[in-house]
Structure formats: structure tokens, C-alpha cells
A and B are shown apart, each in its own frame.
Chain A
Amino acid sequence: MTNYTDKQIEQLIRQAGRRVQLSVSDKSQLKNKLMGVINTLPERTNTYQTNNLFNQRRFAMPLIPLVIALVIALGGGTAALADSAKPGDALYPIDQWIERIQERITQAPEAKAGLFAKFSEERLAELKALQELDPSEWPEAMKAKFEEHKQDAVARVAKSIERVNTVQTKFEEKLAAAKTEAEREAFQKIVEHLDEVMAKREERMNAIEASDINQIPIRAKLREWRGESAKEMLELHREVLKQLDEDDNEDTTDTEDAKLPLPEGLLGTDQDVADATAQAADLKAKMALVAQAAQDWYEQVSPWYPPKPTTPEPEPNWPPHLM
């Protein structure tokens, strides 16, 4: 087994790289071809910008509200198609927008409560469907987003490792220059402590680099797609309960409607009342399930939710003059 130093590895990389080059004839051929194309171009066009995905999205984004308005005006197939879209599908954002607009245009409390109940059931169904989804089907955009976040996390940990390294170097210098046994002991302890901190952070960096999108808990993945929707779900839940409570507590004796004579048969038979009561109880039970799912989700992924208390790392026992 040969032991290689960093310098030897660097040298091997250099040598391997330098051996790779274009032959004289290839280079000449490629250049002639390139210059031939350049000289026939009438004007330099900025294909780099037009091919840039970001610019295409910026162009498309303002059109989305127009699409929604058109879909609602036409009231037809696209809305129906979007309604069955699940997180990650191309039409899912459309589905969400349509739901927000439906909320705004629905005024009657009973209809609004019904709408919220429908949305809540859909969220629950989506959550269940996503838990059963094959990880290899995650959309490319989400995989790319995961990679981006992973690289940012690695960069942050790398920066912190660099900082610990700088501090450790300073204390190693102090250790080397220590005049008394007590000073040497104190600096040694600090250097050892910093070694442990460095090792933990490198371990963390390894774990992040090795992480795979398929290992991330389902709720964290959903957060990528749904963004603010964890908050929305709780709002939804509160709104539904509020509506149901308002319906229960509503005092109809003072409203204008209450003064009008009730049409015959409006309240229905005793059986009708019992059925309606059972339905309301069933709805409340479903809302409780949705609320629990949302709460669990929120606790896991939301930065706004108070974090669970953790055992703090013990403070290093450094002498005051070294702090």
C-alpha cells in the first residue's frame, strides 16, 4: 500500500490534466469552422439570455393570473383537470390559485364552510397520496431545489469549520508560547475542545453531503412544494372551526331573516335533523384529523413554530483572561 501526500496527488491530477489537449489539426479545423459561422452572422444575438430558464420564467409568471381568470371565466376543463392535480404536478399551482379565488368569491357562510371542508379533505388525501408516492417520481425541480439547499448547508458548515480552524490556530500558537505549566494545561484543554468541535462539524458536513432526497422525511419534502401552505392549513382549520362554531352559536332571533316566516318543511323531519347532526359531527371529526396532521407537519418543518428545547452544549471552562 503506497502512502501519498497531498502534493503527490496534486501532481498526478496536474499531469493527467496536462496530457489532454487538442491536436494541432483538430484545433485548426474547429477554429476555421467557428470563424466561418461567426463571419456569416449578421448581428451578435444574445442566445445565452434567451435560453436562460430564469428569464423564461420571469416572462411567464405575469401571465399566470390571466390564465386563472380565463379558466374561471370559461369554468371548464382546465379547472377540473387542475382540481385533481397533486403536489409536484404541473397544474398543482393552478389548482392552488383556483382554490384561493374560489374562497374569495364564495360569500355565504355555509358554502364557505363547505368549501373549506372540501379543501381540507383534499389536503389530507394529498398527504396520504404523497406518503405512498415512489421517491423516484419526485419532480426534477424539487430534486434541484434539494441539491441547492444541500450545497448552501454545506457552504455554511464549511464556513464554520474555517472559523474554528482560525481560532484553533491562534490557541496552538499561544500553547507553543506558553511560559508556565498552568498556561500550557489551559491552552491544551482549549485546543482539544476545539478539535472535538471541528470533528462534530466535519461529521455534520459529511452527513449533509451524503444525504439523499429520498431519505428526507415526507413532511420536509412537502414543505418544499407547499411553502406557506402549512400556515394556510392551520388558517383553514381555524376558519372552519370558526364557521362551525358561529353556525352553532348564531342567534337568529335578531336578524332580518329570522323575522321572516319560515317556509314549511324547511327544517325537515326529525330524521333529517338527526342526519344533519351526524354529518356535522363527522365533519368535526375530520377537521380534527386534518388539524392534527397539520399540527404535526407544522411542528416538524415550520421555522415559526417554537423549537423544542434541546440540551445546550456545555460552555468551555476557559480561564477568564483567555475569553
Chain B
Amino acid sequence: MNNQEINQLARAAKEGDSGAFGQLFDELSDSVYRFLTFRLRDDEQAKDLLSQIWLEAWQSLRRYNPDRSFRTWLFAIARYNLIDHYRRYRPTVSLDAVINRSGSTDIEAEVELADEMARVVDNIDQLPELYQTVLKLKFVEELEYPEIAEITGKTENHLRVIVKRGLDKLRANYEA
């Protein structure tokens, strides 16, 4: 589903169409869940927060501007809730528990890949919150800079510098 189709569903949901809202959930819940899980590292907490975010989105639809991207609006709500939640609860569980294995039969390659990914996630965790958010939105959710700017409230120039510096820091940690 492209952004235009998502925004059309959002307009319908804003008018009270809960079916359209359900379709939005189908389309975007995985993205939001990924965004939460990277930070929370706990499956149950991520699912609880996910439900809370979607309920809040439904209740705040009156304030949603249909000319804006619903996706970025939803991620802004998710980020706000995540920051608030993270202040109160610190994540403790390893991300290994929530990464679904692909089912590959090449165990050695699978283990090596999982190890590489765990390293990159651990290194991302060392970065400041803003860097983590921007890198995840850019490379995992593949949002464009204007969308990320809307979610984070930063300028596109600043975001480009953050991405470059974030990648430099990750690379430095890898090569250390």
C-alpha cells in the first residue's frame, strides 16, 4: 500500500470508519512494532505499548490533519509514547528472543548473520536516542528525510548529518 492509499484510509477512519482503521493496523502495525522492539527489547512490553499507541491514535484522529502523512503522524505518537515509557522502564531482555529466525537450513550462516545483526543492534543502542530513531526510520522503515523531519522535529540537513555521523560511529565500533 502506498502513502496515498494509507492517507485515504486515514481520512475514512477520521470520519469514524473503524474498518478503515483496522486496515491501517494491518498495514502499519509491523513497522511500529519494529520501531518499539529495537528500543524496548521486550516482546510483551512492545505489544502492550503497540496497543496503547493505536488506541491513542484512534482517539486522537480528530486532531489528525488529512493533508499530512498518516504514517509520520503515527510514528510521532509512537516516539512520544516510547520516550515516555523508556523513562519509566529500562529494557533488560536480549533482542535474540524477539528476532524471528528465517528458517534457513544453513545453520552456520544463520548464526553468523544473527551474530552480526545482534552486534549492530548492540552498537546502535550505544548511540543517543535521536540517532537510534533516525537510523531506524531511515534504514529499517525506509522513510524519506522529509517524513523523518516531521516525526523528529529536526531539519533535513541536521538529519543527514546525524545519519552520516551515526554510520561513522557504528563503523568505528565495528572496526575497533
Contacts and interface: CB of A to CB of B under 8 A. Distances in A.
Nearest to B121: A16
A2 B175 contact: yes
A34 B55 contact: yes
Contact of B130 (A14, A31, A39, A151): A151
B158 A20 contact: no
Interface string A1-28: 1111110011011111111111100110
A6 B166 CA distance: 10
Interface of A: 1-6, 9-10, 12-23, 26-27, 30-31, 33-35, 37-39, 41, 44-49, 151, 154-155, 158-159, 161-162, 209
B56 interface: yes
A16 B29 CA distance: 17
B158 A45 contact: no
Contacts of B66: none
A32 to B, nearest CB: 10
Interface residues of B, number: 58
Taking each of A15, A20, A45, which has the highest tally of chain B beta carbons within 10 Å of its own beta carbon?
Answer: A20
7 contacts: A4-B174, A26-B47, A30-B47, A34-B58, A49-B63, A151-B130, A159-B155
A266 B81 CA distance: 70
A19 B51 CA distance: 21
B90 interface: no
A295 to B, nearest CB: 37
Contacts of B98: 20
A52 to B, nearest CB: 9
A21 B33 contact: yes
Interface of B: 16, 18, 21-22, 25-26, 29-30, 33-34, 37-38, 47, 50-51, 54-56, 58-63, 77, 95, 98-102, 113, 116-118, 120-121, 124, 128, 130, 135-136, 139-142, 154-155, 157-158, 160-162, 167, 170-171, 174-175
A301 to B, nearest CB: 26
The 4 closest A-B pairs by CB, nearest first: A17-B140, A16-B117, A48-B60, A158-B161
A17 B171 contact: no
A2 B174 contact: yes
Contacts, number: 136
Nearest to B152: A151
A19 to B, nearest CB: 5
Given A19-B102, A27-B29, A44 B55 contact: no
A170 B33 CA distance: 43
A77 to B, nearest CB: 33
B175 A22 contact: no
A19 B60 contact: no
A244 B92 CA distance: 64
Contacts of A27: 26, 29-30
B145 to A, nearest CB: 13
B158 A158 contact: yes
Contact of B120 (A1, A12, A18, A33): A12
A196 B35 CA distance: 38
Contacts of A20: 33-34, 37-38, 95, 98-100
A31 to B, nearest CB: 5
Contacts of B161: 158, 161-162
A251 to B, nearest CB: 63
B30 A21 contact: yes
Contact of B38 (A10, A17, A49): A17
B116 A12 contact: yes
Nearest to A39: B18
Contacts of A44: 16, 58-59, 61-62
Nearest to B154: A155
A31 B59 contact: no
Nearest to B84: A51
Contacts of B175: 1-4
B28 to A, nearest CB: 11
Contacts of B95: 20
Contacts of B77: 48
Nearest to A19: B99
Contacts of A46: 59-60, 62-63
A22 B29 CA distance: 8
B157 A38 contact: no
Given A13-B139, A17-B139, A209-B128, A31 B62 contact: no
Given A3-B175, A9-B167, A47 B18 contact: no
